[in-house]
Structure 1
Amino acid sequence: MTTPARLLPLFTRSHEGGRSSMTCQYRCGNACDQDVPNTSDNAYFGDLVAEGVSRRLALRAGGAGAALVGLTAWGMPSVAAAPSAASAAPGDGAKGRGRDHGLGFTGIAPTPATVDAVKVPEGFAWAPIISWGDPLFKDTPAFDFDNQTAAAQRAQAGYNCDYTQFMHGGPGNKGAHKGLLAFNNEYTNDELMFRGVTSSADLTGDQLEVVLAAHGITITEVERRNAGSPWRWVQGGKRNRRIHTDTPFAVDGPAAGSVHLRTSQDPTGERVLGTLNNCAGGETPWGTYLSGEENVNQYFNATGAPDPQGRLRRYGITSGGRGWERVRDRFSVVTEPNEVNRFGWIVEVDPQDPTSTPVKHTAMGRFKHEGATVTLTADGRVAAYMGDDERFDYIYKFLSKGTYKEGDKKRNMRLLSEGDLYVAKLSGDGAADGEYDGTGQWLPLVVGGVSKVPGFTVEEVLIWTRLAADKVGPTKMDRPEDVQPNPVNGRIYAAMTNNTSRTPAQIDEANPRATNKHGHVTEFTEAGGDHGALTFTWKIVLVAGDPSDPQTYFNGYDKSEVSPISCPDNVAFDATGNLWISTDGMPGTLNHCDGLYVMPLEGRDKGRLQQFLSVPVGAETCGPTILGPDSVIVAVQHPGEVTGASPDNVVSQFPYRGDGQPRPSVIHAYRRHGR
């Protein structure tokens, strides 16, 4: 699909990192306007003082002149002029040819933040797979923007799409041209969904019901005509499903049934209605779908609620919410003080069985989960890696008690119900070696069913994981988001999106920049290459920003041949182990649209970051799934999410279906047939 590159006015950005106020309001409940929740006194690691980090930055500045070579007038390396993989002669010694990154494309130039278009490399095309409001079942009404109902929304694709998981074939649906797609519906933009709405306070009761129904998870069968055509959703697919705010979830693990999870509607503490603010996720070896509940704090009205132990404040539950208590009193903390504890978990869904009950796993801890990604240890246990997406919060690892058994799905679906929980402490090496690197350890929180945190029971560690972690002294990170194992090299890669609240006195080798608006990506290597190890080494492989900035770093690659990048959010890998990065926040930091990038981790092009795709004005790039050398799935979230935009003042019309309103969509970028 091709679209005109329309230049549109970009309204004022006024929040941390340059985000629009609309993004801050609906994404995270204006988290950056609140005090940092982590006020613990656990130290920033002290073996490298701020002055030492500054000296290391100065070492890198010594190569700044080379970094400026080849920059165009608008500050971007001339990667578009580089030949494609097909034209690069093996062993010719030339840099930047893209031979090793697997797709063989020529990187695109950054897109100005005001452009309403999706851009892909030459030789590629894109098309929407499914958009907000597309009907999932045979009797589902077609999407009608001005007459949307909660009943229709519960049977249609949900709103802001995020993490995507693609599965070929499935029961009764075999073949290379049939599959199953699951994706998160993280949050809603109330001002873009209804006319005449300037905030959530303006919503009627019926509109609030639509908003509740638009959250959750969407699962749909997909198909394509042939290998050279795009995937598209199948209305009426047998495995199609919407999971929303009123879908029953089971609660398992050590905290299931806890007095702190019981409510008047659920006196057992073992059955929760709905899932909220589902951000990233992960696919298990047994084929299920993991989803992380992230900024759940914003949905609860905490006005007048007592907080003597600081539990609400530590989880950012301090505001008046989004008005949901007007239609569901469980979202009033005064009315139902334990309802807040029933969100912020990792949930597991069997996408192949639309009748199955999703599960919330308490053994994996409760915090602002970006997601959870899993792999196997040397002895067959499951290791799950998780980031807590908050300024100065932590990275976690879960190790299952049981071991994985190939082909035994019923057994394997219990693996995340019992195990050990750890939090990461990083130490720098303190050497002026031009690298940000060091060693680390996984500090125990719960091991063998026993709390390792003084003064906390197992239930308390798992329900108030942030407070428990504060007690053992982990490293405060710059908004750790997606944390994923690379299936090719076995290392772990974690996106630190940004943290403009970090002061010069708080920088350390793992978080080396004050007022960090661009973020970085850290590589972890578990001891002995075993994901069951409790020690590791680490290294920052990408310090994001404009390559002309001497503080930036691209795994040692010549910065004259890399793309600018900011605010890394999700990471993914292709079959050869290249690192793919989607971004969230570039309009406010580099004045570019957000995009999808690839950076080889080995070989001649190691560190040569190139941009593969850009999304429209106001949108974020989410949940990339790399299907193969010519095929990528991306969630395009909140198109047109710009302060001042409304249904009567449209900023983006993505996905350009001619209906006049932006619709968050999962898209397929693919090489055009015959290219």
Structure 2
Amino acid sequence: MKAMKDNPVTREAENHTFTEIVDQVRRRLLQGAGGATLLSFFASPAAALARSLDDPGTTVSSLLAAFPRSIPTHSHDYVTVMDGYVVRAILPWGDPLLDFSASWRPDASASAEEQARQIGDNHDGMHFFPFGPNVYDQGLLALNHEYTNYEYLFGKEYTEPWTREKAMKAINAHGVSIVHLQRDGQSGWRPVIPSRYNRRITGDTPMVLTGPAAGHPLLRTSADPTGTQVRGTLNNCANGFTPWGTYLTCEENFNGYFGGGSTDPLHQRYGIGKDNGYRWYEVIERFDLRREPNEPNRFGWVVEIDPFDPQSTPKKRTALGRFKHENAAVTIAPDGRVVVYMGDDERYEYLYRFVSHGRYDPGNPAANRDLLDSGDLYVARFTADPTPDGQRFRGQWILLDKERNPLLAAEARLPTQADVLIHARLAGDVVGATKMDRPEWVAIHPHRREVYVTLTNNNRRKASEVDAANPRAENLWGQILRWQENGGDPRVDEFSWDLFVLAGNPLVYPRGDARAGSAAITKDNLFNSPDGLGFDAAGRLWILTDGSYSNAGPYQGMGNNQMLVADPDAGLIRRFLVGPSGCEITGLTWSNDGRTMFVNVQHPGEAEGHPRAPALPAGQDLATYLAAHPTAFSEWPHSQFRELGGGRPRSATLVIERADGAPVFAAR
């Protein structure tokens, strides 16, 4: 199912791509802005420019004092971390959550009903909610489950015969887990079972649609003629959290769950109609587009959950727009309005911003609960126009409002504001938003209003799009972009932007070739496909990757997916962690005392393209082989952490701490 991250391009508009904008910048700088400005834009800051390919990366940085040197890459089936830190794994897929009657079964024979009471599969974004500001040893971990790997989920039977029971097991492996965690001096962090807080929210859990699009005819089905009552949340990728203590889970590649065919161009704009192998529509009517053509419109939203109230109903907030959401980064503007930044994770899609109409009241938590139901949605346009100081370039947030934007007012395919929100991609097309290279996680600097976004990659880049910033017919490595609204006010529509880093491979391509990456990339920290992103309290930027682990060709020397830590001011990057075979490293959060960092390992054991993938018997495909031989490629985490049950690879959450017990980021 990893192919769901590689969906076909569904763009309609001929808007400018970000590559074209960068090429305009390059030509303008070459024509008159001077070499120093050119270097400052297309490379990393001056401290990093002086380093050579052979420099081990020990340039002084006070922010990175606890991380003096990158660890090496590898392609093995275990996790490695920087010296001085210890790691263990908890909460693997299939472990009991609500009670011990639904325990892990190594042969994958657990029923759909049991899966609904177990930890879900393919962990992704998460957030730790302490029980109070001075409570350091207990809290709730809200944890996303993005999708499933059928070759491991069903065991030897794999998919045949295909049944409703199997489809429901897959549905129940999706969604969110709310886990009560407790730390003690002997065993460290562990789940509290039973606990009234523990909860599984699955692809079948009742929830409601709220906000401007709720009740619209496009959201009504035969089972829900009101257009407000939805069953389930799907493809829960990354996340966000609010100052009033709720969790935001984001629905990403929802299109692959629906089948039966569709000729609706507005469906096709989201890739709906092409079956991605889940086959739910064969046995469950609501996923069959021929019977319920509106059901897909009820997915692709940001869902707000109260982790402390297990009886609460999750709410899909339609004011934030419908697209393939990666995460939702929340900040509060100076006047108290709530601002949410979001990326649409597909090639040539857009960056969005939401600004609430209401204001956050820190003294009245109940008054904040529906702030995400009313506000303005914007989409980003990047230009090649320099700022007055010549150090950055200009951009603009374009309002997606049917009444106040003349382009949308004239668009017959979007007759109401609800249609604009349901078909946010089409609205972005109409107003001329900039097409980006898979915008994924967005992170906000904790000490200044500067925002970063990972642009993971774009393997469909045309040869005509080659330029100095992305001088490759395919952007295989990705980059991280940053911007800041004018005056540091996130409500303002004008912003300035530049590139923080271009990933690449200086082992394969010579320095000066953009495929080698910008100057911050050396042989000691090279990586591809930045995906997860987050700041710690001190202002360090953490980068998590979800890219090729072939360790060959353009990816030579990169090994398995990894996590890096960066000083965004000095432009220095260190590799902190390398994951096991076939995984993605994703999701990060911290305990409120700073002593623990939680990081997720998703889909260990996805063997396709890995240098250690098993040799197959003639005529057998990899998934079928692994279903019959589930430990042939990986048995992580059991292979490294023997206390966890094995039998097949399992996603799990890493607990990372300092060996000396000090806060994770303390100087050594």
TM class, shorter-length:
0.7 to 0.9
d(CA) in 1 for partners of 2:168, 2:512: 50
In the alignment, is the contact (CA less than 8 A) between 2:10 and 2:268 conserved in 1?
Answer: yes
- SS of the residue corresponding to residue 81 of structure 2 reads coil
Aligned to 1:92: none
User: Given residue 139 of structure 2, which amino acid in structure 1 is its aligned partner?
Assistant: G
1:210 match: secondary structure: helix
Give me the TM-score of the superposition, normalised by structure 1.
Answer: 0.84
Distance 1:427 1:344 in 2: 28
C-alpha deviation, 1:443, in angstroms: 0.5
- Alignment partner for residue 636 of structure 1, among 601, 623, 637? 601
Matching residue's letter, 1:194: F
Tell whether the 8 Å contact from 1:383 to 1:397 is kept in structure 2 after alignment.
yes
State how 1:491-570 maps to structure 2 within 5 Å: 491-506=450-465, 514-547=473-506, 549-551=511-513, 559-560=521-522, 563-570=525-532
Name 1:654's counterpart in structure 2.
636
The residue aligned with 1:39 is 12
Question: Aligned residue for 1:236?
Answer: 194
Q: Deviations for 1:204-262, whole angstroms, at most 9, x for unmatched residues?
A: 33222211110000001001114x96422222122110000111111111110001000
| TM-score, normalised relative to structure 2 | 0.85
Specify the alignment match of 2:547 in structure 1: 585
Given the alignment of the two structures, is residue 78 of structure 1 paired with residue 78 of structure 2, yes or no?
no
2:273 pairs with 303, 318, 321, which one? 318
The one-letter code matched in structure 1 to 2:15 is: N
Find the residue that maps to 1:224 and give its secondary structure.
Answer: strand
**Equivalent residue, structure 1, for 2:336:** 380
The aligned counterpart of 1:468 is 427
Asked if 2 retains the 8 angstrom alpha-carbon contact of 1:626 and 1:632, the reply is yes
Stretch deviating more after TM superposition (290-299 or 593-602): 593-602
Taking the aligned partners of 1:280 and 1:512, their CA distance within structure 2 comes to: 30
1:337 corresponds in structure 2 to: 293
SS in 2 for 1:471: helix
Counterpart contact for 1:401–1:415, Cα < 8 Å: yes
Q: 1:412 to 1:175 in 2, by over 3 A?
A: same
Within-5 A mapping of 1:257-656: 257-303=215-261, 305-307=262-264, 310-321=265-276, 322-429=278-385, 437-446=392-401, 453=408, 454-455=410-411, 456=414, 457-506=416-465, 514-547=473-506, 549-551=511-513, 559-560=521-522, 563-588=525-550, 589-590=555-556, 591-602=558-569, 606-627=570-591, 630-643=595-608, 644=622, 646-647=626-627, 648-650=629-631, 651-656=633-638
Paired positions, count: 614
- Mean Cα deviation higher: 187-196 or 317-326: 317-326
- CA gap 1:68/1:203 in 2 versus in 1, 3 angstroms: farther
Q: 8 Å contact 2:56–2:69 — kept in the other structure?
A: no
Distance 1:220 1:41, change over 3 A: same
CA contact (8 A) 1:420 1:449 kept: no
Change in CA separation of 1:429 and 1:551 when aligned onto 2, cut-off 3 Å = farther
Partner amino acid for 1:306? T
Distance 2:542 2:515 in 1: 16
From the superposition, tell whether residues 559 and 481 of structure 1 become closer, same or farther in structure 2 (CA, over 3 Å). closer
Structure 2 unaligned spans of 5+: 609-621, 639-643, 663-668
**Which SS does the other structure have where 1:212 is aligned?**
helix
Residues in 2 aligned to 1:581 and 1:341: alpha-carbon distance in whole angstroms: 32
1:635–1:667 contact (8 Å) kept in structure 2: yes
288 and 268 in structure 1: CA distance in 2 versus 1, 3 angstrom threshold:
same
Aligned twin of 2:2: 23
SS at match of 2:144: strand
TM-superposed deviation, 1:194: 2.2
Structure 1 residue aligned with 2:641: none
Alpha-carbon distance, 1:578 to partner? 1.2
* Counterpart residue identity of residue 618, structure 1: G
The question of whether the paired residues in 2 share the 8 Å contact of 1:165 and 1:289 is answered with: yes
Q: Select 1:132's aligned residue among 86, 89, 93.
A: 93
Equivalent in 105, 112, 123 of residue 144 of structure 1: 105
CA contact (8 A) 2:637 2:646 kept: no
SS of the residue 2:425 aligns to:
helix
Q: Secondary structure at the match of 2:170?
A: helix
Matches of 1:207 and 1:567, distance apart in 2:
33
| CA distance, structure 2, for counterparts of residue 620 and residue 649 of structure 1 | 19
Residue identity (%): 40
Query: Structure 2: which amino acid aligns with 1:653?
Result: E
1:448–1:634 Cα change, 3 Å: farther
Q: CA deviation at 1:660?
A: 2.8
Q: Distance in 2 between matches of 1:233 and 1:612?
A: 26
Determine the structure 1 residue equivalent to 2:614: none
Q: Shift in Å at residue 654 of structure 1?
A: 1.4
Q: Structure 1 residues 573, 288: CA separation in 2 closer, same or farther (over 3 Å shift)? A: same
Against the structure 1 CA distance between its residues 553 and 633, is the aligned structure 2 distance closer, same or farther, given a 3 Å change threshold? farther
1:161 paired to 2:117: no
Residue aligning to 1:14: none
Look up the SS of the partner of 2:79 in the other structure: coil
Deviating more after overlay: 138-147 vs 232-241: 138-147
Give CA-to-partner distance per residue, 1:111-163, whole Å, 9 cap, x none.
22x30010011111111131111111235321113221111111111001000
Cα distance in structure 2, aligned partners of 1:218 and 1:446 = 35
Indicate how the Cα distance of structure 1 residues 248 and 350 shifts in structure 2: closer, same or farther if over 3 A, else same. same
3-state SS of 2:483 partner: strand
Q: Which runs of 5+ in 1 are unaligned?
A: 1-21, 83-95
Asked if the contact 2:43/2:501 (under 8 Å) is kept, the reply is: no
Counterpart residue type for residue 177 of structure 1: D
